[in-house]
Amino acid sequence: MLRKIGFYCGIGFLTLFSIVPLLWALVTVFKRDSDMYSVGTVPFFYNEPPTLDHLIFLFTESNFGLFVQNSAIVGIFVVLITMVLSIPAAFSLARLTGSWGERSGMAIFLVYLIPPSLLFIPMYQIVVWLGVANTIWSLVIVLPTITVPFCTWLLLGFFRSVPRSLDEAAMLDGCGQFTTFYRVLLPQVWPGIGACAVFAFSLSLGNYIYAATFITRSAARTISAGVPTELIRGDVFFWPELMAATLVVAIPLAVVYGLFFNYLVGGFRNAT
């Protein structure tokens, strides 16, 4: 009984620890400046009527809408490139036999662990050489170097979970290698593909070091670099607008991640 009480108390504490910052941000978005900066008031409650001024400022007097548009374009292209490269790579490695096939998953994951802080200088040289510096296409070219290894590793687990007997049965029915892959195996791993697409898109939204290094024009920035640049000016922090921008991006991603959480965990388990 005591163990069960302790377990639920721990779960409750972790839940509060996760939710309180989100609720505080939500309260801050609709607070008036005079209420938010007043020393004698409780910061978790509204001491004056709520206002929409900060949301209006975010979407009408800043470049946030443009940042969202740029991020969406980059995210869509990164997802497409990632899927085109990682799906066939994961299928090939999953069907590779011998010791190399067993170790391929860890080798792919180790490539993903290389930190961007070691790569952004040579990557910047490549971007300049290609003539796409200061444009969103620099991120479209560079970000798949992060997403492809991880998504290949994750999809590797999904393809490994599909029995080889399905391949053999399809080939006995006269299917070739591509037809077997397209008609038999690919429908089995659609949840994994969806999970990888969500990961690739969210990573393109959250990557800061490449977005801040490769793009200096405000009109070409994405959310990760544009929001702090636009809403932090010296010692002046536009806190309500920062919180609003955070929630606009974070809440939809959290919902989608929640829908694909079980598939992500399944891919992690099968890939290792």
- Give the tens place of pLDDT for each residue, 230-269: 888 877 788 889 999 988 888 888 888 777 777 766 666 6
Residue 51 has pLDDT above 70, yes or no: yes
Lowest mean pLDDT among 97-101, 150-154, 211-215: 97-101
**Residues 6+ away with beta carbon under 8 Å from 149:** 108, 109, 111, 112
Q: Are residues 176 and 150 in contact, defined by beta-carbon separation less than 8 angstroms?
A: no
| Average pLDDT, integer, range 36-54 | 82
Count of helices and strands (H, E) across the chain: 14, 2
Give the domains, in start order, of the chain with CATH numbers.
1-51 (no CATH), 52-271 (1.10.3720.10)
Nearest to 142 by CA among 128, 156, 153, 162: 128
Q: How confident is the model at residue 137 (pLDDT cuts 50, 70, 90)?
A: very high
Cα–Cα distance for residue pair 114/212, rounded to 1 Å: 19
Q: Which residue has the higher pLDDT, 217 or 99?
A: 217
| Average pLDDT, integer, range 106-121 | 80
Q: What is the pTM of this model?
A: 0.85
Is the Cα torsion angle 12, 18, 21, 22 positive or negative in sign?
negative
Q: How confident is the model at residue 177 (pLDDT cuts 50, 70, 90)?
A: confident
Mean pLDDT, rounded, of the chain: 84
Q: Are residues 167 and 182 in contact, defined by beta-carbon separation less than 8 angstroms?
A: no
Looking at residue 173, its pLDDT comes to 76
Looking at residue 102, its pLDDT comes to 63
Nearest to 155 by CA among 204, 189, 110: 189
| Average pLDDT, integer, range 198-204 | 89
Q: How confident is the model at residue 99 (pLDDT cuts 50, 70, 90)?
A: low
Looking at residue 97, its pLDDT comes to 65
Q: Which residue has the higher pLDDT, 69 or 93?
A: 69
Q: How confident is the model at residue 138 (pLDDT cuts 50, 70, 90)?
A: very high
